[in-house]
Structure 1
Amino acid sequence: MHASETRATAYTTIGGDVVHELEIKRSRFITYLRRVDTEEQARELIAELRATYHDARHHCSAFIVGADRGVQRSNDDGEPSGTAGAPMLEALSRRVSHGTDADLSDVVAVVVRYFGGVLLGAGGLVRAYSESVSTALDAATFVRRQRMRLYDVATDLDVAPRLENDLRTQQHRVLGTDYSPTASGLIRPVVRVAVPDEPAAAEALITQLATHSAGAAEATQTGTEWVDL
């Protein structure tokens, strides 16, 4: 989903892959968590684990994709309806990893089950699959993502180093400075800056540029981008 198509300005995802195993009444529940950008990537992990654990009885899955969490899917993969995929999805969707809001997204969970010979019943399965994902999430690291406005700030050669330092001091994200010569051969540095995609943050940047550069800095918005904080 493109930044302009979503109302969310920030959300949380996981920082890397997690593998966690539980044994419940002799059944093995092997949980994989992976960060994904698309539904296609989520389904690729499911297919990968089906091939890797081809002898397992079940490969149940759930995933949430998009800043607004607009794509949510789950699959019981042969377990009684509603006993695997749904509780897995609930464990993902209700996870609070930043502040007080549940906003986890861009994550897929796959639980591979090797049946141990003991029937768990519907309630037991719900608890087992929910616990499998929840305990895997307990072992995960989390990353805050924020939608940022990108600006190219063109300035004079002697102003650029001080300007870059001032921007960092004011907690703006400086993505780098381009010292490439212009078409005329002159070097006019361009400082690339990212600020939260909110009017107040953009206004603060423009005000700071006017104050600290004495008119020597010119800001041009170049788009928006999701940035890991």
Structure 2
Amino acid sequence: MQGEESRATSYTTLAAGSDFRHELEIKRSRFITVLRRADSEDAARDLVAGLRREFHDARHHCSAFIIGPDRDIQRSNDDGEPSGTAGIPMLEALAKRETAPGAADLSDVSAVVVRYFGGVLLGAGGLVRAYSESVSSALNLVPLVRRSRLRICSVEVPHAAAGKLENDLRTANLVMAGTSYGARHTVLQVAVPDNAGAIADAAERVQLLTAGSALLEAKGTEWVDVPFP
């Protein structure tokens, strides 16, 4: 999804890594929430399929996901709960999540709530609250990152100088986007905002740090994870 052209230049998503799990017990029912970063519908549905196998004896495996920088793919499923009491509240918990004051931009996230029925009926309102709270509580604890479309720039330096330059670039708060090695040189990549001013500032920084011996070359744009300040 991220390779396609989009209107958005940044959004918030889960930090890369393993699934995040959180459990609530409400009136003897267990609600196990699993969050996973997913950038396609197939990836989101894979989470549901895997949890159906893992929790094969659970009564419900309700799901919701939002995909894409523009959040244009949004789906939910009640999986046997009364219509509108599970998937939609879960989706709203994702869609309305404020990642900064006044900003709701969470995307590329799949949520599944596995429910083990505890014998006490919750009613429609109780189910809506339970599924919404399950996702919201998990989101309170999960690490998030900014996903930004940045201009990738590269600088080529001798191997012996690469370590110090990389450290200096990090100290200058530039986002490192990869390293490759040739026979005689190391190529460091940095990611900067996609505008002429930011690219010029980064180029000047490289000139200063290398005493004019290295040049920064602008390449294409990529989606890059940027930690929250």
Q: Is the 8 A contact 1:155 1:188 kept in 2?
A: yes
Q: Is the 8 A contact 1:178 1:190 kept in 2?
A: yes
What displacement does 1:149 show? 1.2
Distance 1:215 1:12 in 2: 37
After superposition, give the CA deviation of every residue in 1:10-68 in whole Å (9 maximum; x if it has no partner): 22222352222222222221111111222111101101111222222211100111122
Distance 1:10 1:119 in 2: 42
2:227 equivalent to 1:227: no
Distance 2:95 2:74 in 1: 9
Match of 2:36 in 1: 34
Structure 1's 76 and 211: CA in aligned 2 closer, same or farther, altered over 3 A? same
Match of 2:95 in 1: 93
Structure 1's 214 and 28: CA in aligned 2 closer, same or farther, altered over 3 A? closer
Q: Which runs of 5+ in 2 are unaligned?
A: none
1:1-229 correspondence runs (5 A): 1-3=1-3, 5-15=5-15, 16-154=18-156, 164=166, 167-175=169-177, 178=180, 180-181=182-183, 187=184, 189-209=186-206, 216-229=213-226
Q: Is the 8 A contact 1:156 1:217 kept in 2?
A: no
Q: Which runs of 5+ in 1 are unaligned?
A: 182-186
What displacement does 1:75 show? 0.3
Q: Give the percent of matched residue pairs that are identical in Structure 1 and Structure 2.
A: 60
Distance 2:158 2:28 in 1: 69
Q: Which amino acid aligns with 1:11?
A: Y
Structure 1's 45 and 206: CA in aligned 2 closer, same or farther, altered over 3 A? same
Task: Please state whether the residue corresponding to 2:99 is helix, strand or coil.
Answer: strand
Distance 2:42 2:56 in 1: 21
Task: Please state whether the residue corresponding to 1:119 is helix, strand or coil.
Answer: coil
Structure 1's 38 and 168: CA in aligned 2 closer, same or farther, altered over 3 A? same
Q: Is the 8 A contact 1:155 1:218 kept in 2?
A: no
What displacement does 1:125 show? 1.1
Match of 1:184 in 2: none
What displacement does 1:5 show? 0.7
Task: Please state whether the residue corresponding to 2:129 is helix, strand or coil.
Answer: helix
What displacement does 1:154 show? 3.8
Q: Is the 8 A contact 2:20 2:34 kept in 1?
A: yes
Q: How many residues align?
A: 224
Which deviates further from its counterpart, 114-123 or 200-209? 200-209
Q: Is the 8 A contact 2:150 2:223 kept in 1?
A: yes
Q: Which amino acid aligns with 1:40?
A: D
After superposition, give the CA deviation of every residue in 1:74-105 in whole Å (9 maximum; x if it has no partner): 00111111111000000011112345411111
Q: Which amino acid aligns with 1:37?
A: D
Higher radius of gyration, 1 or 2: 1
